[in-house]
Chains A and B, each alone.
Chain A
Amino acid sequence: MTIRHHPSEASLIAHASGTLGEGLSVVVASHLALCQRCRDHLRAAEDIGGALVEALPPSALSPGGREAMLARLDATPREAGVAPPLPRARGVPRPLADYLDVDLESVPWRAMAPGVRRYPLVTARSGHGTLRLLRIAPGTALPRHEHQGHEFTLVLKGSFSDDLGRYRPGDLADLDSSRGHQPIADADEDCVCLIATDAPLRFKTLLPRLAQPFLGM
């Protein structure tokens, strides 16, 4: 798998800082599971966090804090080491597998629009963006839209193209409010993607009925 499209440096920093919402984090983590380059970058971004915490002025802790800590150690067994996780489980990147209770082949897709099926994934806080799988029939165009927040799309199967290039399995499209686009599934096979947003999309079509099915995104 040759990955050509990666999350931006700023997005990896957001992930390392812990400021991306859950849905966006799942998409980035799923890409990381497939992409050695971005894992190296994430490590550097987390090293920045380590360096910053080291440089923080220490807070005065309440008296008795040390004793309280020692008492908690007595009550807390240490965990054994574990084997490193496998990058994939049930045919999908491991971070996604934790959100998906079925195999990718047996997802109970729901019709969304002509040529487009969806499967929503459950996150802890609903109402703070969306996380879903989309399955787009060959050649189907999604309505042109812009973003009020972030939209991360990870290709799992097939491919799609937009104004910025062609996205194949493992590629992540990192879009924000500065960029609109119109994704079109490539002609050879269904395109299955994992998509997260943290704000509703804005559609640029003159035919509202085309955008209607997508308004929840």
Chain B
Amino acid sequence: MGEDPAMTVAETLADDPARSAKVAESIRFAECLRDVAERGDREAFMTLYDHFAPRLASYMTRAGASPAQAEDLMQDAMLAVWRKAALFDPAKASAATWIFTIARNLRIDLLRRDRRPTVDIGALDLADPSDGAEATVDAARRADRVRRAVAALPPEQAEVIRLSYFDGLPHPEIAARLNIPLGTVKSRLRLAFKKVRGALADETMGDPA
């Protein structure tokens, strides 16, 4: 907040090259979404496609889709990215998070044959009046913190997180799969969530060197 976005990126670059590459990539994806929204930029869209399409196909496969079905679902998700790019708000999500929510909703529709409320809950928050560039950098740094917190989760927490997000298992089914009590599933999820929230809370107090 209030920092010069260019300085923020420069500080990150000085910090750790691998990390800064991830932040820069995340910023680039958000800019691609903006270019798709503003002028239907196909090249920008295909930059997103080349990165996200193979991962979304994996995501659909993990939920039980056949390879052909997974590719269809992935294409539908990417097409929704194209259609809805104007709804992407860099103040509310990184490109990866926004694309995840689109893919998740399609997966629910098609694999579970279930519906879910269609209102975009995140959109209820009025965006900060900050300019788009600053919001984009903030979101990219935030995504980077979450990525590192998720990567650092202890194995038993990472396992329940994966079973929930990837395999799409409700808590009782995770408990049955791992042969652990339901309460243990929930406490592991809670601990994992606390770590991620803790990493984000650090952010608001300034980026430690």
Size band of the interface chain B makes with A: 35 or more
Q: Which residues of chain B have C-beta atoms less than 8 A from A29's C-beta?
A: 116-117, 119, 121
Q: B36 is contacted by which of A21, A43, A78, A123 (Cβ under 8 Å)?
A: A78
In the bound complex, do residue A17 and residue B165 qualify as a contact, i.e. CB atoms below 8 Å apart?
yes
In the bound complex, do residue A21 and residue B54 qualify as a contact, i.e. CB atoms below 8 Å apart?
no
Q: Which residues of chain A have C-beta atoms less than 8 A from B42's C-beta?
A: 70, 73
The interface stretch among A34-42, A137-145, A161-169 is: A34-42
Known: A54-B55, A84-B123, A85-B120. A48 touches B146 (CB 8 A): yes
B12 near A: Cβ within 8 Å? no
Q: Which residues of chain A have C-beta atoms less than 8 A from B150's C-beta?
A: 48, 51-52, 55
| Whole-angstrom CA separation of A68 from B72 in the bound complex | 11
The interface stretch among B1-9, B130-138, B179-187 is: B179-187
9 A-B residue pairings within 8 Å (CB atoms): A8-B190, A13-B164, A19-B168, A46-B122, A47-B94, A59-B58, A61-B57, A72-B79, A125-B114
Interface contacts beyond A50-B97, A98-B117: sample of 7 additional A-B pairs, CB < 8 Å, sorted by A: A22-B116, A47-B146, A51-B150, A54-B96, A59-B57, A70-B46, A84-B120
In the bound complex, do residue B113 and residue A125 qualify as a contact, i.e. CB atoms below 8 Å apart?
yes
Minimal Cβ-Cβ distance residue in B for A43: B122
- Minimum Cβ distance to chain A for residue B101 (Å): 6
A32 near B: Cβ within 8 Å? yes
Q: Which residues of chain B have C-beta atoms less than 8 A from A112's C-beta?
A: none
Q: Which residues of chain B have C-beta atoms less than 8 A from A128's C-beta?
A: 114
Interface of B toward A, CB cutoff 8 Å: 36-37, 40, 42, 45-46, 49, 52-59, 61-62, 67, 70-71, 74-75, 78-79, 82-87, 92-94, 96-101, 103-105, 107-108, 112-126, 142-143, 146-147, 150-151, 161-162, 164-166, 168-172, 182-183, 185-186, 189-190, 192-194, 196-197, 200
In the bound complex, do residue A149 and residue B58 qualify as a contact, i.e. CB atoms below 8 Å apart?
no
Q: Which residues of chain A have C-beta atoms less than 8 A from B52's C-beta?
A: 53
A9 near B: Cβ within 8 Å? yes
Known: A50-B99, A61-B54. A81 touches B86 (CB 8 A): yes
In the bound complex, do residue A65 and residue B53 qualify as a contact, i.e. CB atoms below 8 Å apart?
yes
Q: Which residues of chain B have C-beta atoms less than 8 A from A8's C-beta?
A: 186, 190
Known: A48-B161, A79-B86. A59 touches B70 (CB 8 A): yes
Q: Which residues of chain B have C-beta atoms less than 8 A from A30's C-beta?
A: 117
Q: B87 is contacted by which of A56, A82, A125 (Cβ under 8 Å)?
A: A82
In the bound complex, do residue B75 and residue A58 qualify as a contact, i.e. CB atoms below 8 Å apart?
no
Q: A49 is contacted by which of B82, B97, B192 (Cβ under 8 Å)?
A: B97
- Minimum Cβ distance to chain B for residue A43 (Å): 6
* CB-CB nearest 9 A-B residue pairs: A58-B54, A50-B97, A50-B96, A95-B117, A81-B86, A59-B57, A10-B186, A29-B117, A49-B100
Convert A58-94 into 0s and 1s, putting 1 for each residue whose CB lies closer than 8 angstroms to a CB of B.
1111100110111011001111111011010000001
In the bound complex, do residue A18 and residue B105 qualify as a contact, i.e. CB atoms below 8 Å apart?
yes
In the bound complex, do residue A47 and residue B196 qualify as a contact, i.e. CB atoms below 8 Å apart?
yes
- Minimum Cβ distance to chain A for residue B110 (Å): 11
| Whole-angstrom CA separation of A144 from B50 in the bound complex | 55
Q: Which residues of chain A have C-beta atoms less than 8 A from B169's C-beta?
A: 19
In the bound complex, do residue A46 and residue B170 qualify as a contact, i.e. CB atoms below 8 Å apart?
no
A45 near B: Cβ within 8 Å? yes
